[in-house]
């Protein structure tokens, strides 16, 4: 078989298969009379309660790209539009609402649904994280599906507020209280008790899996980059969304660790072409058109890292006796701890002062680009996602001014293929390579950041 442009990790495939297994597990659950919950992304803070109660979890946000890849997203988006949802609203969420509306009409999984579809939920678990769509969508979906809904509220302080004395401890206390209320809600809804031993095993399993996942990503600083962003995206589901046996997950990520380490030790690249440009990607990728990255790999663009979905740096949390608090401190490390964990003491103190004075520090933005020695950044402004788009011009500006790393923006959408034009983007690649060559020389001579 001819080699592709990207040198895929063999250990990625079983992790990738877990995406399909999740849909299968939800269909098996229904056949066995077990409940299924539709969930918004929670980065592991709330789903362990569902898993401990033996409730299968499924994520409509993830299902959007599955529908897009299988070419059926248009029907669900059209249905959402016909129901009155504006087309500038989140593509993931419109897909979910179109699906829910059809499900209500026919009383079963829509026939065009890929991977067996999402079965009717026993409950909807919304979150208050990142954007309003994470709970507004389920408020609407609950009316189609006639399902109970719970919102996991989560404080999201601004950078200055996050560093104020006592702020982090207040957030932790609030989240622990919120999650314990969620546990009580589940007990009432299911008419049975939470299995707290199982919950703690799941929390610890998640922390261990993410520790290996973190270490794998650290190895990606090597030159040539040993693991492409496509392999990261293909395998991240098992680390972020859990849902499977954590011993199995651990074994699969250990296998991936060994394969990436072998590549680092033997200088094996993630692309089958010379690594001319080390790249990073912001923020949500074009899931429906990932073949685009193969075309870029042919030009020597190696996406050695990406900005989103990374686990926090591992911290010793075993002394926290309450597993709910342990989980909260793992999932929400807090801005102060994140700065202290990633910078030397004096610099960390300096960064905090800078944030308290002007509201942000460019050093947080450019650190990854510098650590992974990237030559350029590809950004994707998303027409239907304000949360991950509004800050992109500022990222671009900071990368260029403070790290001498240029970036290229390619507009698109998470699910709507018609908004992404890979051919137009490829036509701009020559000019962007000239920019990357120029700034490589600038960095070699010593990049002098322009302080703002
Ligand atoms: S963050 Fe963006 S893509 Fe995710 S649910 Fe919110 S609007 Fe949609």
- Ligand 1 contact via 131 beta carbon (within 6 Å): yes
In DSSP terms, which residues pair with 445 in a beta bridge? none
What mean pLDDT comes out for the span 32-40? Answer: 96
The finding on whether 72 has its CB within 6 A of some atom of ligand 1 is: no
* Domains of the chain listed by start with CATH number: 23-182 (3.40.50)
Residue 143 has pLDDT above 60, yes or no: yes
> What is the number of other CB atoms lying within 10 angstroms of the CB of residue 259?
19
Within 10 Å of residue 125's Cβ, how many Cβ atoms?
Answer: 27
**Does 59 sit in the ligand 1 pocket, CB within 6 Å?**
no
Residue 385 Cβ inside 6 Å of ligand 1? The answer reads yes
- What percent of the chain stands above pLDDT 90? 88
Query: Which tokens sit at 145?
Result: 């599906």
Helices 73-82 and 60-69 sit at what angle, rounded to 10 degrees? 120
Minimum mean pLDDT range among 125-134, 180-189, 340-349: 125-134
What burial class does residue 446 get, using C-beta atoms within 10 Å of its C-beta: 0-12 exposed, 13-18 middle, 19+ buried?
exposed
pLDDT score recorded for residue 3: 77
The pLDDT tens digits for 421-442 are 999 999 999 999 999 999 999 9
Burial class (CB in 10 A: 0-12, 13-18, 19+), 432: middle
- Segment 115-125 shows an average pLDDT of 96
Instruction: Label residue 185 exposed, middle or buried (CB < 10 Å: 0-12, 13-18, 19+).
Output: middle
Asked if the model's pLDDT at residue 18 lies above 70, the reply is yes
pLDDT for the residue 452? 46
Q: What is the rounded average pLDDT of the residues 247-264?
A: 96
Cis peptide before 283 (omega within 30 of 0): yes
Average pLDDT over residues 140-165: 96
Say what percent of the chain tops pLDDT 70. Answer: 98
277 lines ligand 1 (CB under 6 A): no
What is the per-residue pLDDT for 395? Answer: 96
Nearest CA to ligand 1 atom 2: 385
Beta-sheet strand order (sheet of 376-379): 301-306, 277-282, 376-379, 407-409
* Substitution candidate for ligand 1 out of 40, 59, 131, 307 with most atoms within 8 A of CB: 131
Span 51-60, average pLDDT: 95
Residue 1 has a pLDDT of: 47
Predicted confidence (pLDDT) at residue 89 exceeds the cutoff of 90 = yes
Which residue minimizes the CA distance to atom 7 of ligand 1? 385
Q: Which atom of ligand 1 is nearest to the CA of 134?
A: 5
Ligand 1 center–CA 92 separation, angstroms? 7
Q: Beta partners for 378?
A: 281, 408
Verify whether ligand 1 is closer than 6 Å to residue 134 (CB atom).
yes
- Say yes or no to pLDDT of 450 above 90: no
Is the pLDDT confidence value at 84 over 90?
Answer: yes
């Amino acid at each position: 078989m001819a080699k592709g442009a990207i040198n895929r990790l063999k250990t990625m495939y079983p992790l990738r298969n877990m995406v399909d297994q999740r849909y299968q597990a939800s269909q098996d659950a229904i056949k066995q009379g077990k409940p299924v919950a539709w969930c918004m992304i929670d980065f592991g803070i709330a789903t362990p309660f569902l898993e401990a109660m033996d409730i299968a979890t499924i994520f409509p946000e993830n299902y959007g790209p599955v529908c897009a890849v299988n070419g059926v997203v248009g029907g669900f988006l059209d249905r959402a539009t016909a129901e009155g949802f504006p087309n500038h609203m989140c593509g993931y969420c419109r897909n979910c609402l179109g699906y829910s509306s059809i499900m209500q009409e026919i009383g079963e999984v829509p026939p065009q649904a890929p991977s067996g579809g999402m079965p009717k939920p026993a409950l909807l678990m919304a979150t208050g994280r990142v954007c309003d769509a994470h709970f507004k969508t389920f408020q609407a979906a609950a009316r189609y599906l006639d399902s109970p809904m719970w919102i996991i509220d989560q404080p999201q302080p601004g950078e200055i507020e996050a560093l104020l004395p006592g702020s982090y401890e207040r957030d932790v206390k609030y989240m622990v209280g919120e999650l314990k209320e969620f546990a009580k809600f589940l007990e009432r809804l299911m008419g049975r008790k939470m299995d707290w031993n199982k919950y703690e095993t799941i929390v610890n399993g998640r922390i261990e899996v993410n520790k290996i996942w973190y270490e794998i990503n650290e190895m990606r600083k090597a030159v040539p980059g040993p693991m492409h962003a496509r392999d990261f995206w293909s395998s991240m589901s098992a680390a972020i969304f859990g849902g499977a046996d954590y011993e199995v997950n651990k074994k699969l990520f250990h296998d991936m660790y060994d394969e990436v380490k072998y590549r680092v030790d033997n200088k094996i690249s993630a692309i089958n072409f010379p690594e001319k440009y080390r790249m990073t990607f912001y923020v949500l990728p074009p899931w429906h058109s990932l073949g685009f990255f193969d075309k870029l790999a042919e030009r020597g663009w190696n996406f050695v890292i990406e900005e989103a979905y990374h686990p926090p740096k591992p911290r010793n949390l075993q002394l926290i006796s309450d597993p709910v608090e342990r989980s909260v401190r793992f999932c929400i490390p807090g801005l102060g701890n994140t700065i202290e964990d990633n910078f030397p003491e004096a610099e960390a103190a300096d960064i905090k002062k800078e944030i308290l004075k002007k509201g942000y520090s460019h050093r947080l933005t450019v650190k990854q680009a510098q650590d992974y020695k990237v030559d350029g950044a590809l950004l994707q402004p998303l027409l239907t996602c304000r949360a991950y788009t509004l800050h992109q011009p500022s990222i671009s500006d900071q990368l260029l001014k403070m790290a001498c790393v240029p970036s290229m923006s390619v507009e698109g959408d998470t699910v709507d293929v018609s908004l992404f034009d890979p051919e137009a983007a490829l036509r701009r690649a020559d000019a962007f390579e000239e920019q990357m060559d120029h700034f490589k020389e600038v960095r070699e001579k010593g990049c002098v950041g322009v302080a703002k």
